[in-house]
Chain A
Amino acid sequence: MAVYRRSRRHRFFLVLLALTSVTVLTLDYRGGGDGALESVRQTARDALAPLQSGAEWALSPIIGFFGAIGDFGDLRSENAQLRRQLDAARADAIRGADADRERERLLQLQGLDYAGGLDSVAARVISTAPTNFRLTITIDRGTDARVDVGMPVVTAAGLVGRVTEVSKARSTVLLITDPQSNVGVRLANSGEPGVVRGGGTRNPLALDLIGTEVPVEVGEPVVTSGLERGLYPAQVPVGRVRSTSAAPGALQKEVLVDPSVDLIRLEFVRVLLWTPSP
């Protein structure tokens, strides 16, 4: 009898906790981006920020050590790849010094120094998302530095992502490799518009909406389109075409794009103080 009562009480407690979770889930879902729960979240993030920085500082040798172990396999293949690239680059350098100069002039004419006219805020990457299910990073700037939701985040190499959440001293940036990320782009050579979708960590981006008749070159640069109501300003480099193929009968080409930014080892980024026009 006692055992029976006990397990019933246990189950009651379990149901209570589960229902509380579901209630919070529902409230958060309905509340969208603002609401009481969001401010609880922001307060918690700002409260933990100094502790996190302290822990990061104190544990940095350990982080570096384990980070190095985790990266080892990557580094080896990256090293081999870099050697190959270096060889290729040496050959190219001799062959293409002149062509290079010409290309640079053309790029300048196209206005590819993209962030030129925009104000921006430099930020340090504090951490990647503490989850395996979302590709986000946390940066050490928030509303105090005029950062706001929707702002594009870049490095010198190109597009990193977009600010999705912001508190006083911290912001969350959704990386372009996250499956929920969509970026309006165009191919640099043909000017053909398309949409680049995240394919998960370490995977190339998928470029959609490119018709089978459009010529696409491997290595072709892909930049943001900046079309009206776009989420990003125009002409921010996104990546380069890695491969292209067309299944027979398909309506669009399958184009894969390598991001131009190394999104796994980010340290510093710039937030462009630009929000999409409503």
Chain B
Amino acid sequence: MRSDPRLRLPIMLIGALLLQTTVLARMRVFGVMPDFMLLVAISGGITAGATRGAALGFASGMLIDLFLSTPLGLSALVFTLVGYGVGVANTGVLRSAWYIPVLTAGAASVAGVVLYALVGSMLGEPMIDGHLVTIAAVVGLSNAVLAPVAVKFVDWSLGSLKTGASLSS
């Protein structure tokens, strides 16, 4: 696809947002849906390292926050930390075995969900109860399944940004 590389990132983010708010919001198992916006942050960390993982997490988190009734910035904060963490733990695994990104996405998703509930509870949102276990399990599994697609999508969107020497300091 020959598209302006600068447009790829916004296209990916809006596409992910639409996917999350339409298709995935209806694909619920035990009332829980995959968290694609979190997966975008994780994929950023996997394909492009800690800094860009954090940046992508911030962008995708802030974007989905606009459409939630939880406090604005909550997802942004959590996704930033998760994107960074994945990047630190995992730089350059894109070319390793296929199951590494899958396992990483699963584990990081569980961590992200739990962190989200913890920070949310500190802000007075009732998020920690028995259902949290179900949420963490379903999000972990479904995000792991979606990980190969998400990693490709995010990798495409970062395009020249990823290899650009001036930005990779």
Contacts and interface: CB of A to CB of B under 8 A. Distances in A.
Interface of A: 6, 9-10, 13-14, 17-18, 20-25, 27-29, 37, 40-41, 44-45, 48, 51-52, 55-56, 59, 62-63, 66-67, 70, 127-134, 136, 164-165, 172, 174, 179-180, 200-202, 264
Contacts of A200: 129, 131
B105 to A, nearest CB: 16
Interface string B111-154: 00100110010010111010100010001000000000000000
Given A22-B77, A172-B69, A132 B33 contact: yes
A56 B23 CA distance: 7
Contact of B76 (A24, A127, A201): A24
Contacts of B28: 70, 128
A134 B126 CA distance: 9
Contact of A62 (B23, B58, B125): B23
Contact of A29 (B51, B62, B123, B135): B123
Contact of B125 (A70, A129, A133, A165): A133
Interface residues of B, number: 56
A133 B127 contact: yes
Interface of B: 14, 17-33, 35, 37, 50-51, 54-55, 57-58, 61-62, 64, 66-74, 76-77, 80-81, 84, 113, 116-117, 120, 123, 125-127, 129, 131, 135, 139, 169
Nearest to B33: A132
Nearest to B28: A70
Nearest to A179: B126
A127 B22 CA distance: 6
Given A21-B80, A201-B131, A202-B30, 15 more contacts: A6-B169, A17-B80, A21-B74, A28-B71, A52-B21, A55-B18, A55-B19, A55-B22, A59-B22, A62-B23, A70-B26, A127-B26, A132-B35, A136-B69, A200-B131
B21 A127 contact: yes
Contacts of A27: 72
Contacts of B73: 21-25, 28
15 contacts: A10-B50, A17-B76, A41-B66, A52-B18, A52-B21, A55-B19, A63-B22, A63-B26, A66-B27, A70-B29, A127-B25, A130-B33, A131-B68, A133-B116, A180-B126
Given A24-B72, A51-B14, A14 B131 contact: no
B14 to A, nearest CB: 7
B50 A134 contact: no
Interface majority SS (helix, strand, loop, mixed), chain A? helix
B71 A29 contact: yes
A176 to B, nearest CB: 15
A41 B72 CA distance: 9
Given A37-B72, A51-B18, A66-B27, A45 B123 contact: no
Contact of B51 (A13, A22, A48, A134): A13
Contacts of A202: 30-31
B145 to A, nearest CB: 12
A21 B77 contact: yes
A275 to B, nearest CB: 19
Nearest to B68: A131
A18 B68 contact: no
Contacts of B116: 133
Contacts of B62: 21, 24
Contacts of B19: 55
A200 B130 CA distance: 10
B91 to A, nearest CB: 11
B68 to A, nearest CB: 5
A59 B80 contact: no
Q: Which 3 A-B pairs have the closest CB atoms?
A: A21-B77, A24-B73, A25-B73
